[in-house]
Amino acid sequence: MLDALKKISKDFQSTDQLREDCNEDYGLDYEECLEMSYENIQSLAEQTSKGIRKINIKK
């Protein structure tokens, strides 16, 4: 899970970077790039969390 968090923090562009580069880099408008980035983060989180059991802490 730590690797996924590092990937999100290092490999995904910030919103400002997307705004500046998305048309040139991907040929898409900003909103489409932002939506796809969000979907990629969700997918990474889903893949990473598979097989992790919930920890129940009783108070």
- Per-residue pLDDT reduced to its tens digit, 34-58: 999 999 999 998 988 888 888 888 8
Q: Which of 57, 44, 55 is nearest to 1 (CA)?
A: 44
Name 28's Cβ contacts closer than 8 Å, sequence gap at least 6: 22, 36
Q: CA 19 to CA 29: how far, in whole Å?
A: 8
Residue range 7-28, pLDDT digits in tens: 888 888 889 999 999 999 889 9
> What's the whole-model pTM score?
0.73
Distances (CA, A) of 57 to 4, 54: 25, 10
